[in-house]
Amino acid sequence: MHSLIQLSIVVLLLPLLSFVILIFFNRRLPRRGDFIGVGILGTAFGISAYIFWSVIVQTYDPAFRIAWDFTWIDLGNVPGVGPLQIKMGIVIDNLTAIMLAMVTLISLLVHLYSTGYMAGDKNYGRYFAFLGIFTFSMLGIVLSDNLFAIYIFWELVGLSSYLLIGFFFEKDSAADAQKKAFLANRVGDIGMWLGILILYSQFHTFSFEQIYANLAAGKFALSNAWLTAAGILLFMGCVGKSAQFPLHIWLPDAMEGPTPVSALIHAATMVAAGVYFVARIFVMLTPDALHVIAFIGACTAFMAATIAITQNDIKRVLAYSTVSQLGYMVLGLGVGAYSASLFHLVTHAFFKACLFLGSGAIIHAMHHEQDMRWMGGLRKHMPWTFATFTLATLALAGLPLTSGFLSKDAILAGAIGFAKVEGGGIFYLIPVLGFFSAMLTAFYMGRQIWLVFFGESRTHLKPADNHHADHHAHDNHAVHGDDHHADHGVHEVSWNMRAPLVILAALSVFAVYSPDPLDGAKGWFMKMIPTPATVVGEANPQKGALLAATPAPHLAGIVSPSEVVASHPAAEPVAEEHGVASAAAGHGEEKGGHVYSDPRQAEIVHAGHAAHYTAIYISSIMVVLGIGMAFVVYVFRIIDPEKTAQAIRPLYLFSLNKWYWDEIYEATFIKGSIVLSKILSWFDTNVVDGIVNGVALLVRKFAFANNSFDKYVVDGMVNFTAFTVNTTGAVLRKLQTGKVQTYVAMLILAIFGYFVFYFTRLIY
Amino acid sequence: MLSLIVFLPIIAGLVILAVPSSQKQIIRIVSLLAALAQGVLAVLIWRGYDPALPGITAGPGGSPLGSFQFVEKVPWISLNLGGFGSLNIEYFLGVDGISITMVILTALVSAIGVLSSWTIQKQVKGYFILYNLLASAMMGCFVALDFFLFYVFWEVMLLPMYFLIGIWGGPNREYAAIKFFLYTLFGSVFMLLVMIGLYFSVIDPVTGNHTFSLVAMASQENYIKDAILGPDNVMWRYIAFIVLFIGFAIKVPMFPFHTWLPDAHVEAPTPISVILAGVLLKLGTYGMIRINFPLFPEVFHASMYVIGIFGAINIIYGAFCALAQQDLKKMVAYSSISHMGYVLLGLAAGNSEGMVGALYQMFNHGTITAMLFLLVGVIYDRAHTRQIDKFGGLASYMPVYAALVTVAWFASLGLPGLSGFISEALVFVGAFSSETTRPIAIVSVLGIVFGAAYLLWSLQRMFLGKRKADAAYDLEIGADGHEHIHFHDWKGKLDLDGRELAMLVPLVLITIFLGIYPMPVLGMLTSSINKLVQVLSPVVMSQM
């Protein structure tokens, strides 16, 4: 076993250890054992950092990959298949190394931050235990080398989110939210499960490597529609976990969890899992499946952005911005901007964690006020929070010099390239929605910054009764029973909450990822995460024909098992310029010195690169427009937001009520299920059981009838026979008198009778 | 060995017969000791079992014992019937991969049932005598390899169950008991007819006589060609398969023969519910695997699709009915119907993955549902009600109970890391891989969502949020300023006491262990299942 594999197992199991220790012993430990959680995560991060260093910094090979597996379930010599084993295993490549470091770092920071934020909660120890199992589940997804293992940890992430979203379970809203999150995720999961089953039924394996090798070898016996279906179904898992339309509804409600948990869910774990998973299955997605993914992503990005602009709860704005940004990532994968999308996953994780933890600091300082309408002027009281929050906001809005600019721009450039290659038309909707969402993002983040940090405090404007209700509706942890009024008592948070903010803000600067503030492709990240070659390249023959000029055997690009077993000692001298590489370099030389095997992918990446500056110009204009509008509305007050809202009231309400998705689902699926369950239950009691009881009744009636028959007919016949015999006997007895004369007379009568009988026979 | 494990409880019952009925504690301890001894024997059998030997049918070279293990075979009843030949019934016990897991499950659930019976106060002596009789009969069913012997155990099982529900049950107990009794009897009458038909159709290759041996019956070459159930008599074989199947389906219980189950569960005392759900239901599917399918493989092959559809109906219909229930125990009863649907679906797949999944699901459903019913019993003991809406916020006041309920509920909804997940996953893998059942598998995955829905909803209504206004308990502020709750006339510990933990913790540990590392159970199954799949496959049949 490779030493990095051993270390990664340690990293995986450490948070589980934290969970086990804390769930059983937290009440017996000093400080409820929070130091154990922080310490264990610190160790896990330390090891992950070492793995990152040795994989990314030292090896610096785009094709790096090591794997290890063991037999988990042995089904023996199965008839028709042969020896069949279900294996579990770990794979470490560049993506894994980056994700490991990111997940453990954010989890560590959230742990540290929580020691301040959650202090005094009555279930403080249990909280850290749940953080542990959440981190464990996410690390499991990151490390798994097969679909079955991913599905297992996928569900465990669902459990962990259930436990953490409902941490304040005494509140009905929290209990509702946790159930909603779990069920919405399960809907996605059944799709994912069916996708897994389609692949398993063909190849009798769950391993990515073997499935891809088989697909590349053309061993998929079903039609291409099944393959596309498999891709879309697997993607459904991502729709659930990464809160894509139409299963995004759970995520905003998940704000019921403690705020540091929101940071964990929305940045490093759970929502990232969906995008990560699509990246893992990227090579088997057919062009049709990718189109679906791209459109879903674009719709999600746009829809969530339109909702975010009207929300008043500081966390809900961030929640919808998360949904929107996840839409970007999914869009990016759909259009084939693989590296850019994963780049955005990582940059977003850091700045979004910073925003959530910052909002937590604000909420903490404001004594659990979450409504931005009653904030304002916090800049003076909370300078650290203000600075870090603003930097992260700039990254989210995608301003130059930030990490978010690099990654978002790369996705949008990819989207333009995609639309060009796919022949324009409807496909241009994807970049258009992307750019429009970028403008909305800049607008709502500008609005948030202004409402929270600038102007004067508006705490006193808050209606009193409303205040009370709101207070109960939000985090109700034990210590903050008293109603402080704003300014007195608003102060900067303590070091253990401030340090994570600073670290995360620092990671939102462009220099961490790329030397060029305008081009992410020049940075280490996009070089280390090249777009992998598809294994279903000719799934769409039309596209193949279109690009027939490119002499690219589609199978050349597959990552064959022999190549992936160990790390590539000698990275091929591939042209890294565009962040695109292939394990099978040398096949299919492209124009521009670009090494690529699949014509469609190559074309898209190429077009995306060409669109790089176009994307920069458009997105910069959009961001400036968005921020400008925020200034116009909230700073200069040229447009009154209240009046505008009144003027376009239906649109405003549409956005405020989140496009009414909750209401639609409530009225259809939820009501429908409950009504159906009542109908079936009624059917069960009255029809199915009714028939059973009816039959029983019939049998009983029959038994009664039988009884009567028995009593009157059968028994009657018996009695009748007895009666007849009796009567006959009585009659006959009279004949036996004992007198000879009577006997003689009877004899004569009999002889006479015989003669009469005999002669009548003769006559006739 | 097998005789001992079968008859130990009856011996304990005889001992109890000699104990005066006032000595309740002695009666309980005798039963517990018998159950524990049964458990020790089960472990010994498990340790001595060689998982490489498949069992199922006669071994290579037509050995009449097949590769069954721990075989005990002696002539039992030999009658000369004149013109009809002779009636040969054997006392024939043995285990293979299919039965050994059930033997272990039965021993485990019986022992936990005894612990759970500790609180029974009414006619303790009679109760435990019947309980032990039931335990023996169940065990006997799983190890009997002679159809007649199986039938005897099957019928013996009915009687104590009838009385245990009918005397120690809830308010509507007589209705439930008679319903259970008649339903099962209805099934077993047909079984009797098929059994006799089979007897006259099968020849023991060694003795040349007719035989009730299930091992001989499982080899198609032992059938007389033109006998009533011989290979030529296609129609009668179909009829025999169907009526036999209905007989077992009633026990499963399969829609539409399932309505006795919710009634029986609602009325039965907790330990009897545990036995009923934990072991008795498995006899239905065990009967299918042991008797129905291998004896009529070609009919099984023709009806895979139909069995799968019934499985899917069970899964989805059961889940929806569970969603509508107000009585917690009824909800769990319908969840049993739903989960037994996975077993049917896995069997219908007819491939190794599906069948291994089905058998593993039988084992896991046994442990998980036992847990569910025990947990329902815990709250019923305290509150004297099971109405879901009469609770709320219990997690704050009974944290240990809430934690175990959460584990059990999540085990039931198939959370990875807990045993139920692996069996359901294997069932789906199998059902989807078989082209016959693929569409059914696609529909059945809805069960995953609705299973989660009813379980999480009940969890929320009972344990989360705050106490409801009309809750079955009072809220009071203790001297320490904390809130406490109080159940009317409940003197015991509020949260779980030692005995309750002793019942539940082993089950929780087994569920977690087998969810992480399933091979201890799966390893015993695989060779038998692979053999069974071969026996059932159309390729083998065509060579017949």
Which residues pair with residue A71 across a beta bridge? A87
| Helix A147-165 × helix A271-281 angle, to 10° | 170
Asked if the Cβ–Cβ distance from A153 to B321 is below 8 Å, we say no
Q: Six-digit token pair at B450?
A: 């609705």
HSE-CB of A315 using CA atoms within 13 angstroms: 28
Amino acid symbol at B332: V
Residue B408 Cα distances to A260, A569, B367, B459, angstroms: 29, 49, 10, 11
pLDDT of residue A764: 64
Of A155, A166, A170, the CB nearest to B416: A155
Q: Are A135 and A15 in contact (CB under 8 A)?
A: yes
Q: Using one digit for the tens of pLDDT, what is the confidence trace for A631-651?
A: 888 777 777 777 777 777 778
pLDDT of residue A763: 67
Residue B416 makes CB contacts below 8 A (sequence gap 6+) with A151, A152, A153, A155, A156, B515
Which residues from B are below 8 Å from A183, CB to CB?
449, 452-453, 456
Q: Are B289 and B98 in contact (CB under 8 A)?
A: yes
Which of B260, B250, B281, B254 has its CA nearest to residue B106?
A: B281
Of B393, B422, B448, the CB nearest to A170: B393
Grouping H, G, I as helix, E, B as strand and the rest as coil, residue A313 is: strand
Residues lower than pLDDT 70 in chain B: 58-66, 82-85, 539-544
Mean pLDDT, residues A297-317: 89
pLDDT of residue A300: 92
Which residues from A are below 8 Å from B433, CB to CB?
197, 200-201, 204
Which residue carries 């290659």 as its tokens? A421
- Is A566 touching B (CB cutoff 8 A)? no
Asked if the Cβ–Cβ distance from A696 to B182 is below 8 Å, we say yes
Q: Are A207 and A146 in contact (CB under 8 A)?
A: yes
Q: Can the peptide bond before residue B518 be classed as cis, meaning omega within 30 degrees of 0?
A: no
Which residues from A are below 8 Å from B520, CB to CB?
none
What's the rounded Cα separation, in Å, for the pair A628 and A634? 10
Q: Six-digit token pair at B531?
A: 């053999």
ipTM: 0.92
pLDDT of residue A556: 38
Which residues from A are below 8 Å from B464, CB to CB?
166, 169-170, 172, 174-175
Measured at the alpha carbon of residue A89, what is the angle toward residues A83 and A93, in degrees to the nearest 5? Answer: 135
Q: How distant is the Cα of B242 from the closest Cα of chain A, in angstroms?
A: 19
Amino acid symbol at A625: L
Of these ranges, A27-31, A78-82, B275-279, the one predicted with the greatest mean pLDDT is B275-279
Among the residue ranges A228-242, A382-396, A583-597, A734-748, the one predicted with the least confidence is A583-597
pLDDT of residue A468: 45
pLDDT of residue A665: 85
Residue A756 makes CB contacts below 8 A (sequence gap 6+) with none
pLDDT of residue B166: 87
pLDDT of residue A464: 61
In which element (H, E) is residue A71 found? strand A65-78
| Neighbour count for residue A495 (Cβ, 10 Å) | 12
Of B325, B456, B530, the CB nearest to A182: B456
Chain A 420-479, CB below 8 Å of chain B: which residues? none
Most B CBs within 10 A among A73, A164, A203, A233, hence the mutation to make, goes to A73
Of A182, A674, A677, the CB nearest to B452: A182
Of A179, A186, A190, the CB nearest to B457: A179
Q: Does pTM surpass 0.80?
A: yes
Asked if the Cβ–Cβ distance from A201 to B453 is below 8 Å, we say no
Q: DSSP letters along B375-444, please?
A: HHHHHHHHHS--BGGG---HHHH-HHHHHHHHHHHHHHTT-TTSHHHHHHHHHHHHHHHSTTTHHHHHHH
Q: DSSP letters along B445-513, please?
A: THHHHHHHHHHHHHHHHHHSS---TT-SEEEEE-TTS-EEEEETT--S-SS--HHHHHHHHHHHHHHHH
Would the pLDDT of A628 be above 80?
Answer: yes
Q: Using one digit for the tens of pLDDT, what is the confidence trace for B340-391?
A: 999 999 999 988 999 999 999 999 999 999 999 999 999 888 888 888 888 8
Chain B residue with CA closest to A158: the answer is B415
Which residues from B are below 8 Å from A197, CB to CB?
428-429, 432-433, 441
What's the rounded Cα separation, in Å, for the pair A137 and A279? 18
Q: Are B530 and A77 in contact (CB under 8 A)?
A: yes
Indicate the DSSP class of residue B389: G
Of A79, A155, A169, the CB nearest to B415: A155
What's the rounded Cα separation, in Å, for the pair A287 and B420? 37
Q: Are A67 and A89 in contact (CB under 8 A)?
A: yes
Amino acid symbol at B302: A
Asked if the Cβ–Cβ distance from B464 to A170 is below 8 Å, we say yes
Indicate the DSSP class of residue B210: B
Q: How distant is the Cα of A129 from the closest Cα of chain B, in angstroms?
A: 14
Which residues from A are below 8 Å from B260, CB to CB?
692
- Is A222 touching B (CB cutoff 8 A)? no
Which residues from B are below 8 Å from A247, CB to CB?
none
What's the rounded Cα separation, in Å, for the pair A692 and B262? 13
| Neighbour count for residue B493 (Cβ, 10 Å) | 13
| Helix A338-365 × helix A271-281 angle, to 10° | 170
Asked if the Cβ–Cβ distance from B433 to A153 is below 8 Å, we say no
Q: Six-digit token pair at B391?
A: 């609770």
Of B179, B325, B356, the CB nearest to A75: B356
Which residue carries 């007849």 as its tokens? A724
Chain A 673-692, CB below 8 Å of chain B: which residues? 673-674, 676-678, 680-681, 684, 688-689, 691-692
Backbone angles phi, psi at B477, to 5 degrees: -95, 120
Q: Radius of gyration of chain A from Cα atoms?
A: 38
Of A76, A156, A197, the CB nearest to B432: A197
pLDDT of residue A545: 38
Would the pLDDT of A105 be above 90?
Answer: yes
Q: Are A155 and A161 in contact (CB under 8 A)?
A: no
| Neighbour count for residue A586 (Cβ, 10 Å) | 12
Where does residue A369 fall: left (phi above 0), alpha (psi -120 to 50 degrees), or beta otherwise?
Answer: beta
Residue A637 makes CB contacts below 8 A (sequence gap 6+) with none
Q: Six-digit token pair at B321?
A: 């009915």
Among the residue ranges A251-255, A448-452, A712-716, the one predicted with the least confidence is A712-716
HSE-CB of A638 using CA atoms within 13 angstroms: 6
| Neighbour count for residue B165 (Cβ, 10 Å) | 28
Q: How distant is the Cα of B323 from the closest Cα of chain A, in angstroms?
A: 6
Assign 3-class secondary structure to B215-259.
Answer: HHHCCHHHECCCCCCCCCCHHHHHHHHHHHHHHHHHHCCCCCCCC
Which of B138, B165, B166 has its CA nearest to residue B154?
A: B138
Mean pLDDT, residues A71-96: 89
HSE-CB of A79 using CA atoms within 13 angstroms: 21
Indicate the DSSP class of residue A494: P
- Is A75 touching B (CB cutoff 8 A)? yes
Pairing of β B473-477 and β B86-95: unpaired
Backbone angles phi, psi at B526, to 5 degrees: -60, -45
Q: Number of A:B CB contacts under 8 A? A: 143
Q: Are B360 and B344 in contact (CB under 8 A)?
A: no
Amino acid symbol at A596: Y
Sorting pLDDT into bands at 50, 70 and 90, what band is A537? Answer: low
Q: Are A331 and A298 in contact (CB under 8 A)?
A: yes
Residue A356 Cα distances to A249, A267, A271, A351, angstroms: 19, 9, 14, 9
In which element (H, E) is residue A86 found? strand A82-93
pLDDT of residue A667: 82
Of A75, A80, A193, the CB nearest to B428: A193
| Neighbour count for residue B189 (Cβ, 10 Å) | 11
Where do the domains of chain B lie?
301-544
Q: Using one digit for the tens of pLDDT, what is the confidence trace for A468-496?
A: 444 444 444 444 434 444 445 677 778 88
Which residues from A are below 8 Å from B429, CB to CB?
197, 200-201
What's the rounded Cα separation, in Å, for the pair A15 and A12? 7
Q: Are A348 and A404 in contact (CB under 8 A)?
A: yes
Backbone angles phi, psi at A207, to 5 degrees: -65, 130
Q: Using one digit for the tens of pLDDT, what is the confidence trace for A155-211?
A: 999 999 999 998 988 888 888 888 889 999 999 999 999 999 999 988 888 999 889
What's the rounded Cα separation, in Å, for the pair A192 and A372? 38
In which element (H, E) is residue A338 found? helix A338-365
Sorting pLDDT into bands at 50, 70 and 90, what band is A688? Answer: confident
What's the rounded Cα separation, in Å, for the pair A165 and A176? 9
What's the rounded Cα separation, in Å, for the pair A186 and B457? 14
Chain A residue with CA closest to B417: the answer is A152
Amino acid symbol at A519: D
- Sign of the Cα torsion A575, A576, A578, A581 reads positive
Of B183, B453, B526, the CB nearest to A75: B526
What's the rounded Cα separation, in Å, for the pair B380 and B288? 35
Grouping H, G, I as helix, E, B as strand and the rest as coil, residue B374 is: helix
Backbone angles phi, psi at B474, to 5 degrees: -100, 150
Q: Are A217 and A277 in contact (CB under 8 A)?
A: no
Chain A 151-190, CB below 8 Å of chain B: which residues? 151-153, 155-156, 159, 162, 166, 169-172, 174-176, 179, 182-183, 186-187, 189-190
Asked if the Cβ–Cβ distance from B324 to A193 is below 8 Å, we say no
Asked if the Cβ–Cβ distance from A172 to B450 is below 8 Å, we say no
What's the rounded Cα separation, in Å, for the pair B285 and A728? 64
Asked if the Cβ–Cβ distance from A152 to B416 is below 8 Å, we say yes
Q: How distant is the Cα of A449 from the closest Cα of chain B, in angstroms?
A: 35
Measured at the alpha carbon of residue B297, what is the angle toward residues B295 and B299, in degrees to the nearest 5? Answer: 105
